[in-house]
Amino acid sequence: MRAGRAVLRARSAAIVVAAIGLAAVVLTPPAAAAPADHEPSIGPGLEWVAHRDNPFRQGDDADFINSDLAFTGDYLVQGNYAGFSIWDIADPAAPELVSAVSCPGGQGDVSAVGNLVIVSIDETMSDDSCQASRVPETDENWEGLRIFDISDPRSPRYAAAVRTRCGSHTHTVVPDPASTDRVFVYVNAYSRGASLNCTGRNPLQIVEVPLGAPEEAAIAGELDLFDDESAFGPEDQVAGGAETRSTTGCHDITAYPAKGLAVAACRGDGLLLSIADPLAPVVLQRVRDPAVTFWHSGIFDNDATRIVFQDELGDGFINTCSPAFGADRGADAVWLIQPDALVKAGTYKLPRAQSDLEKCVAHSGGLVPVPGRFIIAQAWLEGGVSVVDLTDPAAPVELTWFDRPSYGTSMDYTAGIWAVYHYDGYLYASDMYEGLEVLRLTDPLFADAARYDDVGLNPQTQPAYAWVWREAPVVPTAEEERAPLETLSVDPAAIEPAESAEVTVSLPPGSLTPGETVDIWWMPTQSVLATVTAAADGSLAPTPANLPGPLEPGRYDVVARGDVSAPRLALASVVVAAPSPTSSPDASRARGDGGGVWWLLVVVPFALALAYHAALAWRRRRRAAP
């Protein structure tokens, strides 16, 4: 699923190092793109890396605003009410517009799955084409999902249009646990009363998208998430057919496939779903809260023990970030997932009061993957971006922010930052009118988040983050388990006893995931000797590593492990020759503190070891030959 171009990117550790060096330089360029009265307030530990204008923008016209974001490899897909943009973010400091796909219809919620881009349309259009115009919902109309093939990102192909009952306000990609050949898409929409096609209770429609044949995408199932008591009934109508019951569908769903869970924000209700069977979601919990008006979206923590819900009070048309509205209205609410219930544990509201000329309310955001913490980056429309630590939900702490004091002219309708997400070490913020902002969290707290190698991200399909590099590899002890492991070349492979030794490690092409961050581990002390980036061909360039001593006779493991290809390992053994060639294998047991436990258990004739390493050396030389 990783785009091939991912191989070109500078990554992780390399990025961190480079960015530190460039920090002074990058402070100024984005500012040049903004008028002086437009300068954002930027919180501590946040760097404004890049700004790009909205390519669709036409003045204050609300039909050309940006919406949500999705990521695939080095591409960022930015939804728009007029289509979507594809940005090349291989260099996050210099996003390049690859194409702006004109295909009108709001709200342009987007997902990216490999080479496919899925777009939500919930405005009633004259037809499913990219030349369609908006028509009243009481006229014949089309709304639903559009699916594009971006194999050629400069010229995306419109592969399929799937009509849905009530269009698609947002949607959520749910992988098929049984097959990587297809995904399911939950269509989040609700009825609008007097419209032609979309009245009454709107079931959750599930679209199946075969990744190899997107033109065959079709509705695969549907189910009603609400019981008769809470859901729309025939009496909930007024003259003309308008519906006065709000629980007719969901606004957004965030799936956490690794945990088999999803959180559904359904306007008046918050739901916790089991999606163990993606075609048959089951409601586990349902909550209402007098303090929460409009259940807009939700984010899990990485352990799936907590959820933060956003309350989009006023639907983005007003400023709720004022003293009048207070700290609880239009806010975030954190809920603990208990066995029998969701339990509210705290609220968070943007601490910076906004002018009533600005629109501000809790909007879309996602997890910033910091081990052991519940940190999110979230958009607050014209309130900007807020990065907040919800680890203690009773006492949330805003860590930093990005907030334009004014948008110059206040827009009539919703405006500001729609969504912000952490991807591959950077924050990407989608500003409805202004465009795209790239930000970077510089505090060391975010080192692991920055190092995390994303290969793609639909923020409403939460990945289970694992910080593999924080734990030493476990090397098997049995020869039959060691033998199949990738062989790490180490040169020299045999050394004399010494205080320390310099060796060079390398791997041939195809051994690693291109561009991934790789640690070289010295197993006797379970320490990292070097951290490098895998080359574009998946090789590991010859990398010097200093083996800490004292090196006494024995056989010691050196391991290369990539963050993405983990738990796969590449293994080498360094033999420290005994003073006498006749020394017994027992000599190699001299040192064994730390994790080098394996060799205590291995009793191999020394001759066999020698043969093994001779073979290694022979193989290495063969590879090294031009």
Partner 1 sequence: MTRRARGGGPRIARVAVALLIAVAGAGCTADPGTGTAATFVTPSPPDGSERATGAPTGDPVDSEATAADVAFVATMVVHHEQAVELAELAPGRARDPEVAELAARMALVQEAEADAMRTWLERRDSRDDMGTGHDLAEGMAGEISSSTIDRAAELDGAAFDRLFVQAMIPHHRGAVEMAEARLAEAGDPAVTRWARAIATAQALEIDRLLEIEARLPAG
CB-wise, 160 or 337, nearer to partner 1?
160
Q: How far is the CB of 104 from partner 1 (least distance, A)?
A: 7
Give the Cα separation of 9 and 515 in Å (integer).
6
| C-beta of 22 vs 610, nearer to partner 1 | 22
State the Cα–Cα distance between residues 461 and 74, nearest whole angstrom.
18
Biggest alpha carbon distance in the chain? 100
DSSP string, 583-626: --GGGGGS---TTTTHHHH----HHHHHHHHHHHHHHHHHHH--
Min CB(456)–partner 1 separation in Å: 22
**249 is a contact residue toward partner 1 (CB under 8 A):** no
Site residues for partner 1, 147-206, by CB under 8 A, read 147-148, 152, 154-161, 163, 190, 192-195
With binding defined as CB under 8 A, does residue 89 bind partner 1?
no
Q: Which of residues 546-605 bind partner 1 (CB under 8 A)?
A: none
240 touching partner 1, by CB under 8 A = yes
- Of 63 and 491, nearer to partner 1 (C-beta) is 63
For the record, the structure tokens of 401 come out as: 């922010």
| Residue 229 Cβ vs partner 1, minimum distance, rounded to whole Å | 11
Rounded to an integer, what distance in angstroms lies between the CA atom of residue 415 and that of residue 315?
11
Going from the C-alpha of 8 to that of each of 88, 95, 444, 464, 547, the distances in angstroms are: 11, 14, 25, 25, 30
Q: Is the dihedral of CA 297, 309, 243, 248 positive or negative?
A: positive
By CB under 8 A, how many residues form the interface with partner 1?
98
Whether the bond between 567 and the residue before it is cis, its omega within 30 degrees of 0, is: yes
The nearer residue to partner 1, 291 or 483, going by C-beta atoms, is 291
Among residues 490, 568, 497, 578, which one has the least CA distance to residue 530? 490
Residues 347-386 that bind partner 1 (CB under 8 A): 356
316 φ, ψ to 5°? Answer: 85, 5
Piece of the chain touching partner 1 by CB under 8 A; list 97-105, 365-373, 530-538, 580-588:
97-105
Instruction: Kindly write out the interface string for residues 404-443 of this chain, putting x where it contacts partner 1 by CB under 8 A and - elsewhere.
Output: --------xx---------------------x--------
Q: How far is the CB of 134 from partner 1 (least distance, A)?
A: 4
φ, ψ of residue 489 in degrees (nearest 5): -80, 135
Judged by CB under 8 A, the chain residues 46 through 75 that form the site for partner 1 are 50-53, 55-59, 61-64
438 in Cβ contact with 90 (< 8 Å): no
Please report, for the chain, how many H helices and E strands are present, in that order. Answer: 6, 39
Give, as ranges, the residues between 136 and 155 that touch partner 1 (CB under 8 A): 136-142, 147-148, 152, 154-155
User: How, if at all, do strands 570-576 and 494-495 pair?
Assistant: parallel
- Span of 319-327, 387-395, 443-451, 544-552 interacting with partner 1 by CB under 8 A: 319-327
**Shortest Cβ 247–partner 1 spacing (Å):** 7
At closest approach, how far in Å is the CB of 159 from partner 1?
6
- Per CB under 8 A, the segment of 3-11, 309-317, 388-396, 525-533 that binds partner 1 is 309-317
